[in-house]
């Protein structure tokens, strides 16, 4: 076994949980951010976001695909942490405890950030993008 330094549980969980959350909600956050910086208009921002949802507003294939990618990122984070941790000489009980803490941390942070960004993007769309879309459509 190698005497490498064990991976940092906090850094690892933050890296993969934030990546997973961003991947899962990119369909709504990306157009909002591009609209904020004036790089896209209201009509295009809504059509970009609508691509991921069905006509009735329910989740479409694109939205489910992004959420699947988010789960895959989280699972990869756990897998790679376990693989990296196994290269270090740590006691087996500590390895198991670290893995459980990592799974819980990635799950909680990912879901929290995802839901926060979802709530923010819904508010931003309603407050700024939809009114801009209505103005653009009247022209």
Residues 56-83 have a mean pLDDT of 93
**Cα angle for residues 50, 56, 58 (degrees, 5° grid):** 75
pLDDT in tens, 5-25: 778 889 999 999 999 999 999
Cβ contacts of residue 61 below 8 Å, gap of 6+? none
Predicted TM-score (pTM) above 0.75: yes
* Res. 92: pLDDT tops 90: no
Sign, CA torsion 46/50/55/57 = negative
Q: What is the pLDDT of residues 106-124, one digit of tens each?
A: 999 999 999 999 999 999 9
* CA diameter of the chain: 69
DSSP 128: I
- At residue 89, the 3 state secondary structure works out as coil
Which pLDDT band, with edges at 50, 70 and 90, does 3 fall under? Answer: low
Percent of the chain with pLDDT over 90: 67
Task: State yes or no: pLDDT of 64 exceeds 80.
Answer: yes
């Amino acid at each position: 076994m190698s005497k490498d330094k064990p991976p940092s549980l906090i850094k690892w969980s933050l890296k993969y949980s934030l990546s997973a959350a961003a991947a899962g909600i990119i369909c709504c956050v990306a157009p909002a951010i591009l609209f904020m910086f004036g790089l896209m208009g209201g009509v295009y921002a809504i059509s970009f976001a609508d691509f991921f949802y069905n006509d009735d507003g329910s989740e479409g294939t694109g939205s489910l695909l992004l959420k699947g990618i988010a789960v895959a990122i989280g699972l990869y984070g756990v897998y790679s942490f376990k693989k990296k941790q196994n290269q270090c000489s740590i006691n087996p009980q500590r390895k198991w405890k670290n893995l459980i803490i990592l799974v819980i941390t990635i799950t909680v942070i990912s879901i929290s950030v995802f839901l926060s960004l979802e709530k923010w993007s819904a508010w931003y769309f309603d407050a700024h993008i939809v009114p801009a879309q209505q103005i653009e459509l009247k022209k």
